[in-house]
């Protein structure tokens, strides 16, 4: 099998074809896939034929596959504990009509980086489409390496060494979820550098998105103005690609050199079944089930 790599834009994103990824691949092919991912930041795979089990198995070529958070009282839709549910349907396949859960999902329509609110970052996310609506419902991706490269020198100097505080429920609050700054203050936060060394490519990348709440050492107002300015810069059309899905299609993005958001569609009218695996950044230790721990801690705050 020969791997075919078709760029989706000059600097960023590529579609990969020619491989049957439902079966184990040889080491040389795995290395080519990782190299393509490191080079292009986003890869798109059409009509993969992957199941839940082979989705998880394929994901392992990138590293440690995270466990998805388990939420008390909410049975997961899948038997694989590694699958994050990025759909708008419940365990019976019905479109979610619970207003609070819809508001939580709405946060995915804001530009973000998966897991930036965790101290241990995620590298790749692998999002597989199990059912696509009959209307466009893409994911949008932004190239945080090129966005960094193109910054004016004065801005590069200004942000060098800065640290942001990220909080999951901050993006949810921005999307309309009812919570307050005071409540957020008591929730878990992660500190992340604004400028990321993307070790896999030797390039640098911005690391922000809408989980980024404050900048350490700056007033809330000044920090947010800077975060907004850089998020707006990064998501200009020239850094963005859009990927739409049919059933079986998968996108893989590297959270350490991209931002993404779900595109807009009528999620009260159409089911969209998307399942995700997530790879932990290489070489970092964390409790195995750290997402469940983080969400449980946030819930305790919310419940007082």
**Site of interaction with ligand OGA (CB under 6 A):** 86, 108, 114, 125, 127, 139, 260, 262, 274, 276
Q: How far is CA 138 from the centre of its chain?
A: 14
Residue 273 interacting with Mn ion (CB under 5 A): no
Q: How far is the CB of 23 from ligand OGA (least distance, A)?
A: 25
Asked whether 44 and 15 are in contact (CB, 8 A), the reply is: yes
Find all residues with CB under 8 Å of 298, minimum gap 6, and list them. 168, 169, 187, 188
Q: Is the dihedral of CA 208, 33, 56, 93 positive or negative?
A: positive
Residue 114 interacting with Mn ion (CB under 5 A): yes
Residue 86's binding partner out of Mn ion, ligand OGA, none, with CB under 5 to 8 Å set by partner kind: ligand OGA
Q: How far is the CB of 129 from Mn ion (least distance, A)?
A: 14
Q: How far apart are CA 107 and CA 93, in angstroms?
A: 21
Q: How far is the CB of 112 from Mn ion (least distance, A)?
A: 6
Judged by CB, which is closer to ligand OGA: 226, or 279?
279
Q: How far is CA 254 from the centre of its chain?
A: 8
Residue 254 interacting with Mn ion (CB under 5 A): no
Judged by CB, which is closer to ligand OGA: 38, or 249?
249
Residue 139's binding partner out of ligand OGA, Mn ion, none, with CB under 5 to 8 Å set by partner kind: ligand OGA
Residue 166's binding partner out of ligand OGA, Mn ion, none, with CB under 5 to 8 Å set by partner kind: none
In b/e form, how buried is each residue of 257-278, taking b as 16+ CB within 10 angstroms?
Answer: bbbbbbeebebeeebbbbbbbb
Number of residues that bind Mn ion (CB under 5 A): 1
């Amino acid at each position: 099998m020969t791997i075919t790599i078709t760029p989706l834009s000059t600097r960023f994103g590529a579609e990969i074809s020619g491989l049957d990824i439902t079966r184990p691949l040889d080491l040389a092919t795995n290395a080519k896939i990782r190299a393509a991912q490191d080079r292009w930041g986003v890869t798109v795979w059409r009509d993969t034929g992957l199941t839940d089990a082979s989705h998880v198995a394929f994901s392992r070529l990138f590293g440690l596959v995270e466990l998805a958070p388990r939420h008390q009282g909410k049975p997961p839709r899948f038997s694989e504990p590694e699958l994050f549910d990025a759909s708008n349907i419940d365990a019976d396949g019905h479109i979610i009509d619970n207003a609070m859960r819809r508001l939580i999902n709405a946060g995915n329509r804001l530009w973000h980086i998966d897991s930036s609110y965790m101290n241990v970052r995620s590298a790749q996310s692998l999002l597989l489409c199990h059912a696509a609506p009959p209307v466009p419902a893409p994911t949008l991706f932004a190239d945080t390496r090129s966005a960094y490269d193109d910054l004016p020198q004065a801005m590069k100097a200004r942000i060098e060494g800065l640290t942001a505080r990220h909080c999951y429920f901050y993006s949810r609050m921005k999307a309309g979820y009812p919570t307050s700054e005071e409540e957020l203050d008591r929730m878990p936060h992660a500190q992340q550098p604004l400028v990321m060394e993307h070790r896999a490519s030797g390039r640098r990348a911005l690391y922000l998105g809408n989980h980024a709440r404050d900048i350490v050492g700056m007033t809330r107002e000044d920090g947010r103005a800077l975060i907004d300015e850089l998020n707006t810069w990064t998501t200009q059309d020239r850094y963005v690609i859009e990927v739409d899905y049919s059933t079986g299609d998968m996108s893989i993005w590297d959270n350490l050199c991209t931002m993404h958001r779900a595109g807009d569609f009528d999620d009260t009218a159409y089911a969209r079944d998307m399942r995700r695996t997530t790879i932990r950044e290489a070489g970092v230790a964390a409790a195995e089930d750290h997402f469940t721990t983080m969400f449980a801690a946030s819930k305790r705050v919310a419940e007082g």
